[in-house]
């Protein structure tokens, strides 16, 4: 404040930073929520992908084990009198 070209006082205007800090906190909380949702979605997608890969491999393993004898060799069947051997292959589905 001025009076006859002399400063006789000042005016101080201030505002609390509460609103700014609250807005900043809200933005950080929203970013954290998005991060958690993204991590959860990634876990679910990884689980679904692992099932789609592992399930056919498990079926293939079971089919491969079905054509092996107790020694781990391919089963050979002799169905003719002449002694010709052939292997029976099982379909995968």
pTM of the model: 0.52
Mean pLDDT of 41-49: 96
Q: What is the pLDDT of residue 7?
A: 87
Map out the domains of the chain as residue ranges: 17-87
Q: What is the pLDDT of residue 12?
A: 85
* Banded model confidence at residue 10, pLDDT cuts 50, 70, 90: confident
Q: Identify the pLDDT of residue 83.
A: 53
3-state secondary structure 56-91: HHHHHHHHHHHCECCCCCECEEECCCCCCEEECCCC
> ∠ CA(25), CA(32), CA(18), 5° rounding?
0
- In tens, the pLDDT along 54-70 reads 998 999 888 888 777 77
Tell me what pLDDT residue 89 has: 58
* C-alpha pair distances (Å), 61 with each of 17, 67, 72, 86, 89: 65, 10, 13, 22, 14
């Amino acid at each position: 404040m001025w009076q006859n070209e002399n400063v006789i006082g000042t005016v101080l205007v201030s505002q609390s930073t509460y609103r700014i800090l609250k807005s900043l906190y809200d933005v950080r909380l929203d970013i954290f929520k998005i991060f958690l949702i993204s991590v959860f979605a990634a876990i679910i997608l990884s689980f679904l992908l692992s099932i789609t890969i592992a399930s056919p491999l498990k079926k293939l393993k079971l089919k491969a084990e079905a054509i092996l004898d107790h020694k781990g060799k391919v089963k050979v069947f002799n169905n003719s009198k002449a002694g010709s051997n052939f292997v029976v292959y099982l379909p995968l589905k």
